[in-house]
Amino acid sequence: MSEKRDLTFRQLVDLSFGFFGVQIAYALQSANISRIFATLGADPHQLSFFWILPPLMGMIVQPLIGKYSDRTWCRMGRRKPYLLVGAIIAVLVMVLLPNAGSLHFSTRLFLGLNMAMWFGLFSLIFLDTSINIAMQPFKMMVGDMVNEKQKATAYSIQSFLCNAGSLVGYVFPILFTWIGIANTAPKGVVPDSVIYSFYCGAAILILCVMYTFLRVKEMPPKEYAEFHGITPPSPANPSEKKASDGLVKLLLKAPKAFWTVGLVQFFCWAAFLYMWTYTNGAIAHNVWNTADVASEAYQTAGNWVGVLFAVQAVGSLVWAAVLPRFRNLKVAYVVSLLIGAAGFASVILIHNQYLLFVSYFLIGFAWAAMLALPFTLLTNALEGSPYMGSYLGLFNCTICLPQIVAAATGGAVLSLVGGSQAAMLLVAGVLLALGALSVRFIK
């Protein structure tokens, strides 16, 4: 294939449309997990430990999905079978997770957690595993089917759909509250506004994924090989089979972009882990002057967190349109992260719920850069590699590992800042600034 064909705009959208539904699920998880576990009885110093599970599952699952999908060729496609399985599991778990407090579990503690929290914990494991299974194929299909010229556009579309899905997921609880669905519940029970949000998110997720599944036709092995200029993958090709042994060998041969962008990722994703974990408590304390998780004020703050995260998504959408205007990607990266750091740092100073719009709008600038720039840099560096999926799965560890480290140390850091959850967002700002400084190492 002498010239790699262009896809139409409609084809580029179809390729990533299911990402909209997957991101609704991810947004509901991000905005409500701390709220759900606090409602079930978790102490603020325990909250970060619950956040270890999502990135840990991603770190295990996504490299495996990448490795095995690289070698999967069947009638349904190469990446699409994993996409469908992940979506189905996610839908089932999204129906179960928010009901953890409504199933009349024993209140007896085991290893410091009641049975409702244990149920929620295992549901969270399955939810994040399934979201990871469903999410990764979209990134891989862009790498598989889009040429270098259109790749930035394809990832920009994916970023737009990602933020649009986040916007919908974040506003669901407050939307349901506005139409009269209860936003409070007995102690230890998750409010109906959150439960129905998960139900609607599950329905949209499966519909969007099925749209992409039915609309997109992946390349057969021969066409894929011609498109990328490589030897067609085949069980009869022993050299390929040998080369595909082990993810460790691939890491040793990874391009420099993998490691240098990964360093920036470490600081950025640790910062956002603290945002997802502590925004609810910070806003409840700073704006509504409460730490009582059973109070109406705390649940109102929980709804407002969804609104603020929606504002962040809007900021990300706006900034995503600005990023292509930068001639230098590294400059765009630095500017985006520094603006986001300023947004995080300002939260501790603000006690008005509407002024917080400014803070989270600026945080969205960093999020836009984190979604678009790393994968553009990496997939261009991997062009022609038969292990695109494996490398993208491994690269996900640069997203997961910092979240695990941040979650594992979150309780200790919270103690160091005097137990102030708002101060944890200042820590997040410092981490983003360190990420901006690390951009200089990217080659």
Query: Exposed/middle/buried for 20, CB within 10 Å: 0-12, 13-18, 19+?
Result: buried
Say whether 179 sits in a helix, a strand or coil: coil
Domain membership of residue 88 (yes or no) is yes
CA separation for the pair 407, 50 (Å, rounded): 8
First to last CA, the chain: 30
Confidence at residue 355, expressed as pLDDT on a 0 to 100 scale: 94
Confidence at residue 271, expressed as pLDDT on a 0 to 100 scale: 94
pLDDT tens across 271-327, in order? Answer: 999 998 889 889 988 899 887 777 888 878 888 888 898 899 899 888 988 887 888
pLDDT tens across 239-282, in order? Answer: 444 444 466 777 777 778 788 888 999 999 999 999 988 898 89
71 CB-side CA count, 13 A: 17
Q: How far is CA 334 from CA 33, 133, 340, 360, in A?
A: 30, 31, 10, 18
Is it the case that residue 234 has pLDDT exceeding 70?
no
Tokens 């590294």 belong to 330
Q: How far is CA 261 from CA 66, 177, 251, 369, 389, in A?
A: 19, 41, 14, 12, 17
Sorted by sequence, the CB contacts under 8 Å of residue 272 that are 6+ apart come out as 367, 370, 403, 428
Specify the amino acid at residue 360. Answer: Y
CA separation for the pair 422, 5 (Å, rounded): 50
Confidence at residue 362, expressed as pLDDT on a 0 to 100 scale: 96
pLDDT tens across 393-420, in order? Answer: 778 788 888 988 988 888 889 999 888 8
CA separation for the pair 67, 268 (Å, rounded): 26
Confidence at residue 281, expressed as pLDDT on a 0 to 100 scale: 86
Domain membership of residue 93 (yes or no) is yes
Domain membership of residue 3 (yes or no) is no
Confidence at residue 245, expressed as pLDDT on a 0 to 100 scale: 47
Percent of the chain with pLDDT over 90: 22
Say whether 114 sits in a helix, a strand or coil: strand
**Across 34-60, average pLDDT:** 72
Q: Identify the bridge partners of residue 113 per DSSP, sorted by sequence position.
A: 110
Say whether 326 sits in a helix, a strand or coil: coil
Query: Exposed/middle/buried for 118, CB within 10 Å: 0-12, 13-18, 19+?
Result: middle
**Across 358-367, average pLDDT:** 95
CATH of the domain at 166: 1.20.1250.20
Confidence at residue 363, expressed as pLDDT on a 0 to 100 scale: 96
How many CB atoms are located within 10 Å of the residue 430 CB?
14
Domain membership of residue 2 (yes or no) is no
Confidence at residue 207, expressed as pLDDT on a 0 to 100 scale: 95
Is it the case that residue 231 has pLDDT exceeding 90?
no
Contact 198, 92 (CB under 8 A): no
Is it the case that residue 233 has pLDDT exceeding 90?
no
CA separation for the pair 269, 274 (Å, rounded): 9
Contact 59, 86 (CB under 8 A): no
For the chain, how many structural domains are there in total? 1
**Across 215-222, average pLDDT:** 82
Specify the amino acid at residue 422. Answer: A
CA dihedral sign, ordered 383, 389, 394, 399: positive
Sorted by sequence, the CB contacts under 8 Å of residue 87 that are 6+ apart come out as 18, 21, 22, 130, 134, 205, 206, 209, 210
Domain membership of residue 48 (yes or no) is yes
Contact 51, 276 (CB under 8 A): yes
- What's the domain range around 266? 9-441
Helix axes 148-178, 9-16, angle to 10 degrees: 50
Confidence at residue 361, expressed as pLDDT on a 0 to 100 scale: 96
Confidence at residue 240, expressed as pLDDT on a 0 to 100 scale: 46
Domain membership of residue 366 (yes or no) is yes
Residue 157 has phi, psi (to 5 degrees) of: -60, -45
Confidence at residue 37, expressed as pLDDT on a 0 to 100 scale: 76
CA separation for the pair 187, 347 (Å, rounded): 29
Confidence at residue 110, expressed as pLDDT on a 0 to 100 scale: 58
Model confidence band, residue 365 (pLDDT cutoffs 50, 70, 90)? very high
pLDDT tens across 65-94, in order? Answer: 777 777 777 778 788 888 888 899 889 988
Confidence at residue 112, expressed as pLDDT on a 0 to 100 scale: 61
Domain membership of residue 1 (yes or no) is no
Confidence at residue 1, expressed as pLDDT on a 0 to 100 scale: 45
Residue 42 has phi, psi (to 5 degrees) of: -75, 140
Where is 110: in which H helix or E strand?
A: strand 109-110
* Best mean pLDDT range from 12-26, 116-130, 290-304, 378-392: 12-26
Query: CA angle, corner 94, sides to 88 and 98, nearest 5?
Result: 165
